[in-house]
Amino acid sequence: MNATKEQIHALIDVVDVGEYSFILHMLMKLVPTDNALPDEIEGMRKGLEQIANGEYYSHDEIDWDNLDKMDLD
């Protein structure tokens, strides 16, 4: 993981869970939909829906160094 990603992950630790939706909206503004692929847009839409439904993992529950080994079901 590069230094910028590490900083972002560290900052997520101090953000209230209630602000996750706001953060996702802000990130979506940084990825213009006219440059995003349809499956990327669908992924962002699904992410917002999951946050609204409380379907997410807290930062502490995620093993950032072993994401490919996480059982997300």
What residue spans define the domains of the chain?
Answer: 3-60
pLDDT tens profile 5-27: 888 778 877 877 778 888 877 87
Q: Cα separation of 38 and 8, whole Å?
A: 25
User: Full-prediction pTM beyond 0.75?
Assistant: no
Cβ-defined contacts of 17-20 (< 8 Å, 24+): 17/58, 20/51, 20/56
pLDDT tens profile 64-73: 888 888 776 6
The pLDDT of residue 32 is above 80? no
What is the pLDDT averaged over residues 54-58?
84
